[in-house]
Structure 1
Amino acid sequence: MNDLARLIRAEARRRGLRSGVDRNRLWLWEAGRAAPSEESQSLLAAVLGVPDTSIGRLGWPGWLPAFEQPAPFSPSGSRAALREVQVTRMDRRSFLVLSSSALVEMAADWARIEPRHLEQALGGQSIDEELLQWLEQRSGELRALAAGPHRQASGLIDAHLSTTIDLITQGRYTAATGRRLHAVAADLAHCAAWLRFDADRHADAQRHWQAAVHAAHQAGDRDLAAVALSDLAYQATWLSRPTEAVQALEHARSRTRTPAARSLLDVRLARACAVLQDRQGTQRALASAETELERMRPQETPPMVSWMSMADVNADAGRCWLDLGDPHRAAAAIDAGLSALQPRRSRTKAVFLTYRAEGSLHTQDASATAADARAALDTALESGAARCIDLVSALIHRLDGRAEQPIAELREYAQERLAA
């Protein structure tokens, strides 16, 4: 985001203009909470290499670059999706890569097709069992590392993922080994996608989630593929595109195997329904999430959803009630979620503290709003997640013009922390 803002300001200077575009404004555009002016769109188009004529013809945001055709769910298509995340490039498309129809098409396509189990062995010498076990163990260690505030995790995961993709594309393994290699690649791509999402690198996150879906499909891991699809849907809801999120989640849920995975997908469906003001759909999805969670058995739960708990259901339910205009019910749910949340999940905590601050804002409680926003900002900065920092910064920006002392002190505190 910072790089894109810098390029836009540089383009403005080249034209003899001044632009105040920064990462917060880009986030508002991307989240659908504001639209850029014609001048800003022209500057952005120049940076992205899009002709000015497309702006008037297609309108905002239709002229933004997008990949319209996801790779097919075949061994060659999945290898292409995996290779896509190895390409080193400047991510000019900080905005979404998948259009609404493409995301839903991808989810529907995956729901229809059974894994091919690499039916035709690619031949060659089998990968050594010791190396394969090391890859699998290392993948689990890196997943645990990525859950905390370890900033070196991203580089380690990228390197490990790249090595695994190289092994896959060389094709020197049996069908059984191929499935295990794809499982490692899916796990790592899934972790890498979340780290990019938290860094506001949405296009790059999408590429990695797509790669995770493909690799999980080739590994025969329905739950991981469904969870990665639900992550794409969650991102769509986060960026104010809830309709396609609902459709994608319905396809993804059709092939889940474990209660924990279904509970996660139900929570994300509830979030999308709430944004769409579908109260019945929200309540139905939240009730299903609780029921599935009660059926969860630790020994049967895949690692990528082992963190799922009532804390997540409650806190996400709070966001739903906020969207549905019930701040008091939202506060009770978010409080319950935060009290039970694991301390190491700082990114999740920052998001839900921001939501609680927003709820206090609805009830006109300036002191509670300021206290929660300050705590959210501290937690977000500690986590280093740009997505969380942007979320709380946008909330504080909405308080401009409020004269209450707690709000004024919050603004001063935020300016100092963000400038440090």
Structure 2
Amino acid sequence: MDLDQHPLTHLRRQHHWSMNDLARLIRAEARRRGLRSGVDRNRIWLWEAGGTRPSEESQLLLAGVLGIPAATVECLGWPGWLPAFEEPAPFSPSGSRAALREVQVTRMDRRSFLVLSSSALVDIAADWARIEPRHLGQALDGQMVDEELLRWLEQRSGELRALTSGPHRQVSGLIDAHLSTAVDLIAQDRYTAAVGRRLHAVAAELAHCAAWLRFDAGLHADAQRHWQAAVHAAHQAGERDLAAVALSDLAYQATWLSRPDDAVRVLEHARSRTRTPAARCLLDVRRARACAVLQDRQETQRALASAETELERIRPQETPPVVSWMSVADVNADAGRCWLDLGDPGRAGAAIDAGLGELQPRRSRTRAVFLTYRAEGSLHGRDTWAAAADARAALDTALDSGAARCIDLVRALIRRTDGRTEQPMVELREYARERLAV
């Protein structure tokens, strides 16, 4: 983004709105709320020129057009609450350091939008797919990175990754502290090329874990920054599968937030440099999910078939830790989600049943998501008792995990039962009110 350009100008151009277009949208939002607004093209021009700032009412109307919560407007003020996008760092040693430093900055996270535009998100994947990592520079004179500390960080990063699948509330702070240490060591630039690769691998692992914890908490902008940092650090470490998985996580987030076109394009680039069947299996499943949302049955089936082929080729001893969890449970349950999106609840139910049956007990957040999918399938099949039972179990599991993303997913499903008078649906809503009030 041009730093001299007003965030509103940048935002408007991202949406391909003229000033007249935006003024009309604001007036329409006012009518929807039973209000009147005099915003016109000239008013928009004054806001962007910086000569005047919109009134509180106009800001709330603009926020309504953009889907931004009023609380965000109040907290961040004008123009800080506008979702202007950030520019990605280049894939160079200095660019990667800049991306890593970004995750050390404490920010007010805007939950309702992302910081990377569609084009920037795809550009990150395309750049990574064609650029080989440069050799890290030789260590500078002075104190070198301590080998004992580096080994300790490597061991701790693996242990912290294992903890992220459970309900450990303090793990996020521990990961952030270790990541900050790794980033500081990288910034000192006092290490050999081999040590530099190990340091970047540690930073990539920790940034990747931190991103998922933020995604689960609904902090989407911060999750994007951490995944982007993970891609950069993995690139400098020569860890192709880790970089590809982090890119696929950005694609998964895009699908989750109704940007499946972005996901498909990112995954095409990310898959081009994977090394192991487990990584390719994961990327194929995520491509299938995005294609199903786009209602592309043929591409969905092709991606699922490829995922199953890669699944059979997985050898645990050759699989990197970042994707060691990939299993038949994930392929089956995500295939079920695809069939739900494509309007085949019967086939979906069988696949999700198989996935839940194979899922490891410690993966509570994944279980909450899969149970929500199965409940949705039962609703489509008009089995209200089964839907209510799975929705209750999903809500309990999500609440126990503390993952806001999973809780919101179950809530959205339960809200869809509003107005339904069947006994299981009435009892489900009452149960949800009691649990969510705690």
Instruction: Give yes or no for contact 1:311–1:337 (8 Å, CA) kept in 2.
Output: yes
Instruction: Give yes or no for contact 1:213–1:225 (8 Å, CA) kept in 2.
Output: yes
Q: Which of 184, 187, 196 pairs up with 1:178?
A: 196
> What does residue 307 of structure 1 align with?
325
| TM-score with structure 1 setting the length | 0.86
Q: Which of 349, 353, 369 pairs up with 2:371?
A: 353
Instruction: Give yes or no for contact 1:146–1:191 (8 Å, CA) kept in 2.
Output: yes
What CA distance in whole angstroms lies between the structure 2 residues aligned with 1:156 and 1:94?
26
> What does residue 335 of structure 1 align with?
353
Give the unaligned 5+ runs of structure 1: 1-17, 19-34, 55-62
Instruction: Give yes or no for contact 1:97–1:203 (8 Å, CA) kept in 2.
Output: yes
What CA distance in whole angstroms lies between the structure 2 residues aligned with 1:41 and 1:260?
38
Instruction: Give yes or no for contact 1:124–1:171 (8 Å, CA) kept in 2.
Output: no
> What does residue 80 of structure 1 align with?
98
What CA distance in whole angstroms lies between the structure 2 residues aligned with 1:121 and 1:214?
20
> What does residue 292 of structure 1 align with?
310
What CA distance in whole angstroms lies between the structure 2 residues aligned with 1:39 and 1:244?
19
Structure 1 residue 225: Cα displacement = 0.3
> What does residue 58 of structure 1 align with?
none
What CA distance in whole angstroms lies between the structure 2 residues aligned with 1:221 and 1:409?
50
What is the letter of the counterpart of residue 100 of structure 1? S
Q: Which has the higher contact order (CA 8 A, sep 6+)?
A: 1
Structure 1 residue 354: Cα displacement = 0.3
Instruction: Give yes or no for contact 2:204–2:230 (8 Å, CA) kept in 1.
Output: yes
What CA distance in whole angstroms lies between the structure 2 residues aligned with 1:40 and 1:333?
35
What CA distance in whole angstroms lies between the structure 2 residues aligned with 1:279 and 1:49?
44
What CA distance in whole angstroms lies between the structure 2 residues aligned with 1:266 and 1:165?
32
Instruction: Give yes or no for contact 2:110–2:220 (8 Å, CA) kept in 1.
Output: no
Structure 1 residue 95: Cα displacement = 1.6
What is the letter of the counterpart of residue 83 of structure 2? L
What CA distance in whole angstroms lies between the structure 2 residues aligned with 1:156 and 1:37?
37
Q: Which moved more, 1:122-131 or 1:385-394?
A: 122-131
Structure 1 residue 91: Cα displacement = 1.7
Paired residues for 1:193-204 under 5 Å: 193-204=211-222
Change (3 A) 1:50 1:340: same
> What does residue 395 of structure 2 align with?
377
- For the pair 1:151 / 2:162, whether they are aligned, the reply is no
Change (3 A) 1:314 1:125: same
Change (3 A) 1:142 1:362: same
What CA distance in whole angstroms lies between the structure 2 residues aligned with 1:76 and 1:293?
37
What CA distance in whole angstroms lies between the structure 2 residues aligned with 1:42 and 1:352?
29
Q: Secondary structure at the match of 2:105?
A: coil
> What does residue 66 of structure 1 align with?
85
**Deviation by residue 1:68-93 (Cα, 9 ceiling, x = unmatched):** x2000000000000000001122246
Provide the alpha-carbon RMSD of the alignment. Answer: 2.0
Instruction: Give yes or no for contact 1:124–1:173 (8 Å, CA) kept in 2.
Output: no
> What does residue 10 of structure 1 align with?
none
Structure 1 residue 270: Cα displacement = 0.4
Q: Secondary structure at the match of 2:230?
A: helix
- For the pair 1:281 / 2:305, whether they are aligned, the reply is no
What CA distance in whole angstroms lies between the structure 2 residues aligned with 1:123 and 1:100?
42
Structure 1 residue 37: Cα displacement = 4.1
What CA distance in whole angstroms lies between the structure 2 residues aligned with 1:178 and 1:142?
21
Structure 1 residue 125: Cα displacement = 3.1
> What does residue 431 of structure 2 align with?
413
> What does residue 188 of structure 1 align with?
206
Q: What count of residue pairs does the alignment treat as equivalent?
A: 377
What CA distance in whole angstroms lies between the structure 2 residues aligned with 1:344 and 1:216?
27
> What does residue 413 of structure 2 align with?
395
- For the pair 1:258 / 2:276, whether they are aligned, the reply is yes
Identity %: 81
**Deviation by residue 1:218-248 (Cα, 9 ceiling, x = unmatched):** 0000000000000000000000000010000
Change (3 A) 1:173 1:396: same
> What does residue 240 of structure 1 align with?
258
Structure 1 residue 208: Cα displacement = 0.4
Instruction: Give yes or no for contact 1:277–1:324 (8 Å, CA) kept in 2.
Output: yes
Structure 1 residue 49: Cα displacement = 3.8
What is the letter of the counterpart of residue 355 of structure 2? G
Give the unaligned 5+ runs of structure 2: 1-32, 34-61
Q: Which moved more, 1:84-93 or 1:295-304?
A: 84-93
Change (3 A) 1:39 1:292: closer
> What does residue 110 of structure 1 align with?
128
| TM-score with structure 2 setting the length | 0.83
> What does residue 25 of structure 1 align with?
none
> What does residue 7 of structure 1 align with?
none
Instruction: Give yes or no for contact 1:115–1:218 (8 Å, CA) kept in 2.
Output: yes
> What does residue 14 of structure 1 align with?
none
> What does residue 166 of structure 1 align with?
184
